Amino acid sequence: MGRLDNKIAIITGAAGGQGKVEARLFAQQGARVIATDLNEALLTTAVAEINAELGVDAVIGIKHNIALESDWVDVVAKAHELFGRIDILINNAAIPGKTRDEVWDVDTEETSRILNVNILGSMLGIKAVMPGMKANGRGSIVNISSAAGLVGGISGGSVAYSATKGALRAITKEVALGVARSGVRVNTVYPGLIKTPIMEAFSQEVTDAVLAKIPAGFAADPIEIAYGVLYLASDESRFVTGTDLIIDGGYTAQ
Ligand SMILES: NC(=O)c1ccc[n+]([C@@H]2O[C@H](COP(=O)([O-])OP(=O)(O)OC[C@H]3O[C@@H](n4cnc5c(N)ncnc54)[C@H](O)[C@@H]3O)[C@@H](O)[C@H]2O)c1
């Protein structure tokens, strides 16, 4: 028996990195997964790879820009057409900021792009799935933040990226309280450094400096974050809402 048997899950940013590992784990645990990403070519390859590995067509790929409300409407309509409902939304897709030494050096265009994808994109996802989840009387939404949303010194000087990750904390709590009686739960996961392509946005110097400060002494494999996301997505966490799950090798305990 899988921990997500009969669940229908949408995972954004699932073409690579953390999202792809979550898509594979969720499918292994019995979920039907709608994996979405802006990068269609990479997504197609990832979906084919996971389905071939598992020997079942458990994952469906849909091209999706999370910053566009019309794309969310299409993804949710497709999920309802195929499966009749959505049980789980993992707001995982995000873009990093540029590494910079002068943290006060705000680039308006870059900042508005990051805010639009990382904050608005996740809010639009919540908006799109919520009516169906409320009508079904159940649902689990997991917002993927970052240790950068809790403490400074980990985002390579990108105030915009950190701001978006901090915002997800507030969004989670506000929405979780607003819908608590409906059976829909909303939680946040805060990963520390994970070995994924997003790390390429940061210089080796920044990565080494963060790595040196991780009490556990290593960067996480994506699966080590995915296990936490799985718990919050599953019914095992039925009494957990509006909370913070930090998975960072002790980084924010300092
Ligand atoms: N890697 C780390 O060290 C780390 C640490 C803390 C938090 N996180 C968070 O974990 C999550 C996953 O990150 P990752 O490391 O796997 O990154 P990644 O860059 O490997 O994957 C992110 C995916 O999101 C997609 N994406 C970007 N913009 C999009 C858009 N507008 N619409 C749809 N898809 C879009 C990308 O194409 C990519 O496939 C992110 O929210 C990230 O902020 C990562």
Number of other residues whose CB lies within 10 A of the CB of residue 4: 23
The answer as to whether 87 is a domain residue is: yes
Q: Which residues contact 174 (CB under 8 A, 6 or more apart)?
A: none
Dihedral sign computed on CA atoms, order 168, 173, 62, 195? positive
Q: pLDDT above 90 covers what percent of the chain?
A: 87
The string of pLDDT tens digits covering residues 20-65 is: 999 999 999 999 999 999 999 999 999 999 999 999 999 999 999 9
Atom of ligand 1 nearest to the CA of 147: 6
Strands (E), the chain: 8-12, 32-37, 59-63, 88-91, 139-144, 184-191, 244-247
Q: What is the pLDDT of residue 171?
A: 98
The answer as to whether 253 is a domain residue is: no
What's the mean pLDDT in 115-123? Answer: 98
Q: What is the pLDDT of residue 104?
A: 83
User: How far is Cα 209 from Cα 164, in angstroms, rounded to an integer?
Assistant: 22
Atom of ligand 1 nearest to the CA of 201: 19
The answer as to whether 37 is a domain residue is: yes
pLDDT bucket at 202, cuts 50 / 70 / 90: confident
Quote the tokens at residue 17: 């990195």
Q: In what order do the strands lie in the sheet with 8-12?
A: 59-63, 32-37, 8-12, 88-91, 139-144, 184-191, 244-247
The answer as to whether 111 is a domain residue is: yes
The answer as to whether 156 is a domain residue is: yes
User: 254 C-alpha vs ligand 1 centroid, how far in Å?
Assistant: 25
> Is 146 touching ligand 1 by the criterion CB < 6 Å?
yes
Please say if 161 is a catalytic residue.
Answer: yes
The answer as to whether 2 is a domain residue is: no
Count the domains in the chain. 1
Average pLDDT along the chain? 95
Question: What is the extent of the structural domain holding 231?
Answer: 8-247
Name residue 244's beta-bridge partners.
188
The answer as to whether 219 is a domain residue is: yes
The string of pLDDT tens digits covering residues 143-195 is: 999 999 999 988 888 999 999 999 999 999 999 999 999 999 999 999 999 99
The answer as to whether 1 is a domain residue is: no
CB 247 within 8 A of CB 228: yes
Residue 166 is part of a domain; what is its CATH number? 3.40.50.720
The string of pLDDT tens digits covering residues 80-102 is: 999 999 999 999 999 998 877 78
Q: What would the DSSP string read from start to end of 26-55?
A: HHHTT-EEEEEES-HHHHHHHHHHHHHHHT
